[in-house]
Structure 1
């Protein structure tokens, strides 16, 4: 099984349930009712199925690495849109069978207004190429979640002209932001945070940041919730959005402990454990798979605050930007419960001498790893302990990359709260959920730089090979593929660079002398108007960045088409 469920008794000392492992008959269903919980005045009925299977279907959460039934139904509907779009684009003489339809995903990276605007431009380019209906998934983090959340308020956004959405985004990106700190706004923040606390949430500065994002991106209060986006998927009419975050732990750097969390309109789940709750139940209190207290679903601005939490950085990460991570650990060795070199098997721990840190060392390490603020949500895995056999599960091993992964008792049963931050503090990519084998993604349109993380995790991903010249001066588009590696997607790498756009205003259309200024964009310098912390653009800067992102898609349409054709050929070969 994936998790061990435990019997309970009530502790009058701590005022909370104590879980004890019992010897129960294997291979059959056992019901424990009316457990004495001391002063706890309610009974918990827990259903067990102690065999090599997932937990009982009657729980309020879902265990398993397979896709939920709603996503499977969506995929069946979306294939009709994708098949029709591919037939029209490539002028195919026949309709594609379901098995011939490739799964194409857009993977984005973060960066505030820059990534928000860039994604609008890329989507506009795909729309003009009639390729937007070929996309099945869009994943985002940080600033791209702002684009996605705004688009998915419209249930048929991808079937319409994007000009109105882009115009509204420009209005918000270029407006004065000083009203964010007005007295009326401060009163609004206080009222909303007090209401959130009364609802049962643990509030933090991240929630305040979410309310500020609400002001930055909207003219008024945004009542939109993530589960509301199910309406935009009911007919398969849009790609399925996936929002990405990482779960962190106090006293650990992000490199030492981080676990991927995915948010869809259907579910929120931890990839490593195959544990999911309904999106509308995220934030509610759970124990042993049962929902003890239902709290109202968060408005999406609070999630946006978490997905783009620029205030979750710690000193260790800042230091790591200037010196190597290894050098940091030479100065501040890992704590007692850390094991920097992961064993190949769960019980093969290395023997080593350990000297407990003194007060000064502990204080310095705490100062380095403490984050200014972290979004706190009730741990929906509370009451569970990982089964020892779970450590050998191939899906768990896919995401096994933290210093606690060799100790199942140290992972998920202890924290009352899940601390979540912007995934960009680990790797600035939203690709992890799209590399779940169950999603069978054939083509990835990667809107920024790829990384070595997946090869280290032995997750199928093509080798990213760039020449020294390319590393100095990136081109607009690259294609990476490895046909010999089963399950390996084709990656279309589209970095945000200003290359031929400087001389061409459209593919094959050169700029005249008076138009050369339109092609000049400073994307990287410290004085760039597009720096990550910029919260306001001029109309000119917004338009330039939007046009550049669109141009880079249009100018490399042939390479994108080539990758899609290769994916269809691979699908046909699998059918033979």
Structure 2
């Protein structure tokens, strides 16, 4: 649902607008070659039309002039970026894009005519050999009722209408016997194109109302290739039909007679199935209310408090686990066991995980009361799965079984992907039989606040041509919702994988088993070569490059007012280059799912919204047409290809987390934690600096505490790197090893030669026990530091509310 202010987003607006373009090109400077001899210009405004318009081709001219006019109907409350492309129509390079210019239409005021002169070269080059494109813009008002929008200040949902079409049965049957079908197209709709069959002769088209949808109808031979562009003998703008009334339309046939169509256009309810808002959902707020009662009791027992804590004074404590395959899974079991033994687990309100650590949580949350039971029982149950050989689960016979299930899913409407295959393999690795549990079913484990709320983390990336360095968006999954931090857009957990359009649920698919989500969260094979090249650099080089790119992007946006962006043409042509580009940039095991943000627009001032700015961290964020709402599907991967840290959700200011117990399972101590801290600093997200001495780097200890006293919003971070320090000499805090026990303290955590490397899928019993005991010990021996951090958080909470 929209926030209250968003409901009145354009209540004072009385008009929408029509925009006209008169593009023409001239040369400024003698002898300058402006364009190729044969050229034309295309115009695309994704926020107002799915169609790309183009001028005629002007041939054999260095100074082409078109003087053509194009009209778009726009909504001024959303971000409208017009893309103009100059194409060269050559004999050897047809339709080659020479130059691309993006223009922000917010620069054009209603009633005004504006002439824009776009320089098509960098300033230095253009002074010697100038090239320009001149375009005239005019914005005119259209009288009519204002469009009702729903927005959270970043995303905007526009009004939809529904076109009902019923095809006359008799003529349809005659056409089918003659091996012909009826093709119906509404480009401005969710469905796009539909056709009649023996069993289908009625249709629905869900249309973006302000795009002025048009129905096109034609006959086509069933044997005809799909996608062939032939003329539509019937073209009907839907605005011509009276709302809610059925209209009969006749389409003459060459064979004689006519096809009868019965049409009706109706408005569709504005109630959204996507929640647009940055507040916590009602279910999570209710959970926190219940969980804080459990946490208050736990704090009272730990610190012998003299009074019962009111809800506002109860600290919010979170456990944050990184990824790392079976290493992360095993170590997280040991860490949680130790927190349980110290009576600290009941102080925790959130647990976030990524990659391998998600496997621990999906196992635990099948038990509605897992944190109230002895975790050693869970560990003994999962141990055989970690020790067993995995070869049988990737045999040809097994792969046939997996393939059968994936075919059935595709027939139901799920998008096929290699990640789904990996999900089934992973399920077999970790379970003896299919795990029928689902994410939404984990609500039974938190409905009384009896366990912390689990949050799983993934990243949405581009499936081709870009590394995670260039584009990625944090995405969180919890038993209540799945959504994007950056966009403030969420859907119910059971609706993930279903089909959405403009914030409305179009087709609900059955909720997937949890293994399909695990395949996304721990997709360790979705690396493309661009990711690999990026990770070959050192962390310092990475951050230097990222910060530089971000600052240049912000400077460009600031200097130009967000109105004009020039892009170099893509000069790569030819099949060989295309093949090489696929090898370089494609993700071999990419995960695809239906995009629940599909077709939502970006609000006109989304770049100024503080909630968006917090996660505005790629150069594409100021280009609405390249952001996720414009994509039909999501490409979700393991977060480790950017930062192997699941803490992003904990930095949501609405969660107001006081303490993060950070469990870093990286084989290089501190690396991921430092990168995350640097990321937060660049983004302006409250987070303490991670400052370490040379001695710490050479001989890391079990536990470190970081805080920022100058910023009360910054959480206290209790960091546990995965290190074998005093464990070499102690079996338990204060209990020294005997000579016969010394080998049990030798845990090989070498980045290259360790038996715990991320891609290892089977452990020996000895190695499993060592890692489990190490991760348990490191928490137990750090009890005083954890309690001190919790006590400090309690004092901060009480001081804040006392001053308030």
Q: Same fold (TM over 0.5)?
A: yes
Aligned with residue 178 of structure 1, among 370, 391, 414: 391
Aligned partner of 1:258 in structure 2 is 472
Q: What secondary structure, in the 3-state scheme, does the structure 1 residue paired with 2:554 have?
A: coil
Task: Give, in angstroms, the shift of residue 34 of structure 1.
Answer: 4.4
5+ long unaligned stretches in structure 2: 1-5, 11-15, 17-45, 54-71, 77-143, 150-157, 165-184, 187-192, 195-202, 211-268, 665-669
Are residue 152 (structure 1) and residue 375 (structure 2) matched? no
Aligned with residue 284 of structure 2, among 71, 84, 88: 71
Of the structure 1 ranges 435-444 and 374-383, higher mean CA displacement relative to structure 2 is found in 374-383
Task: Give, in angstroms, the shift of residue 8 of structure 1.
Answer: 8.7
Aligned partner of 2:13 in structure 1 is none
Are residue 217 (structure 1) and residue 430 (structure 2) matched? yes
1:436-455 map, 5 Å: 436-448=652-664, 449=670, 450=673, 451=675, 452-455=678-681
Question: Contact 2:322–2:355 at 8 Å: present in 1 too?
Answer: yes
Task: Give, in angstroms, the shift of residue 187 of structure 1.
Answer: 2.9
Question: Contact 2:550–2:617 at 8 Å: present in 1 too?
Answer: no
Aligned partner of 1:21 in structure 2 is 74
Aligned with residue 412 of structure 1, among 611, 623, 628: 628
Structure 1 pair 573/57, CA: closer, same or farther in 2 (3 Å)? farther
1:16-55 map, 5 Å: 21-22=74-75, 33-34=161-162, 38=186, 41-42=203-204, 44=206
Aligned partner of 1:91 in structure 2 is 304
Aligned partner of 1:509 in structure 2 is 735
Task: Give, in angstroms, the shift of residue 66 of structure 1.
Answer: 0.6
Task: Give, in angstroms, the shift of residue 93 of structure 1.
Answer: 1.8
Aligned partner of 2:24 in structure 1 is none
Q: Based on CA coordinates, which of the two structures has the bigger radius of gyration?
A: 2
Aligned partner of 1:342 in structure 2 is 553
Separation of aligned partners in 1, 2:686 and 2:270: 31
Q: What secondary structure, in the 3-state scheme, does the structure 1 residue paired with 2:552 have?
A: coil
Question: Contact 2:456–2:478 at 8 Å: present in 1 too?
Answer: yes
Structure 1 pair 498/115, CA: closer, same or farther in 2 (3 Å)? same
Task: Give, in angstroms, the shift of residue 362 of structure 1.
Answer: 6.8
Aligned with residue 296 of structure 1, among 510, 516, 525: 510
Structure 1 pair 486/90, CA: closer, same or farther in 2 (3 Å)? closer
Of the structure 1 ranges 56-65 and 425-434, higher mean CA displacement relative to structure 2 is found in 56-65
1:537-556 map, 5 Å: 537-556=763-782
- How many pairs does the alignment contain? 559
Q: What secondary structure, in the 3-state scheme, does the structure 2 residue paired with 1:459 have?
A: coil
The TM-score, its normalising length taken from structure 1, stands at 0.90
RMSD of aligned residue pairs (Cα, Å): 3.1
Question: Contact 1:141–1:308 at 8 Å: present in 2 too?
Answer: yes
Q: What secondary structure, in the 3-state scheme, does the structure 2 residue paired with 1:439 have?
A: coil
Separation of aligned partners in 2, 1:119 and 1:327: 31
Aligned partner of 1:52 in structure 2 is none
Aligned with residue 467 of structure 1, among 660, 678, 693: 693
Aligned partner of 1:522 in structure 2 is 748
Name which structure has the greater RCO, CA cutoff 8 Å, separation 6+: 1
Question: Contact 1:343–1:350 at 8 Å: present in 2 too?
Answer: no
Are residue 310 (structure 1) and residue 524 (structure 2) matched? yes
Separation of aligned partners in 1, 2:752 and 2:159: 63
Task: Give, in angstroms, the shift of residue 391 of structure 1.
Answer: 1.1
Structure 1 pair 7/471, CA: closer, same or farther in 2 (3 Å)? closer
Q: What secondary structure, in the 3-state scheme, does the structure 2 residue paired with 1:144 have?
A: helix
Of the structure 1 ranges 410-419 and 136-145, higher mean CA displacement relative to structure 2 is found in 410-419
Structure 1 pair 420/95, CA: closer, same or farther in 2 (3 Å)? same
Aligned partner of 1:51 in structure 2 is none
Separation of aligned partners in 2, 1:326 and 1:569: 36
Question: Contact 1:211–1:301 at 8 Å: present in 2 too?
Answer: yes
Separation of aligned partners in 1, 2:567 and 2:550: 12
Task: Give, in angstroms, the shift of residue 267 of structure 1.
Answer: 0.5
The TM-score, its normalising length taken from structure 2, stands at 0.65
Of the structure 1 ranges 195-204 and 241-250, higher mean CA displacement relative to structure 2 is found in 195-204
Aligned with residue 713 of structure 2, among 484, 487, 491: 487
Are residue 458 (structure 1) and residue 648 (structure 2) matched? no
Structure 1 pair 353/76, CA: closer, same or farther in 2 (3 Å)? closer
Are residue 372 (structure 1) and residue 566 (structure 2) matched? no
Aligned with residue 613 of structure 2, among 385, 397, 403: 397
Separation of aligned partners in 1, 2:651 and 2:718: 15
Separation of aligned partners in 2, 1:572 and 1:326: 39
Question: Contact 1:9–1:35 at 8 Å: present in 2 too?
Answer: no
Aligned partner of 2:483 in structure 1 is 269
Separation of aligned partners in 2, 1:28 and 1:115: 48
Task: Give, in angstroms, the shift of residue 407 of structure 1.
Answer: 1.6
5+ long unaligned stretches in structure 1: 14-18, 49-55
Residue-by-residue CA offset, 1:298-355 (whole Å, 9 max, x unaligned) = 1110111111111111112222233369989999xx9xxx998322547447877846
Higher-helix-fraction structure: 1
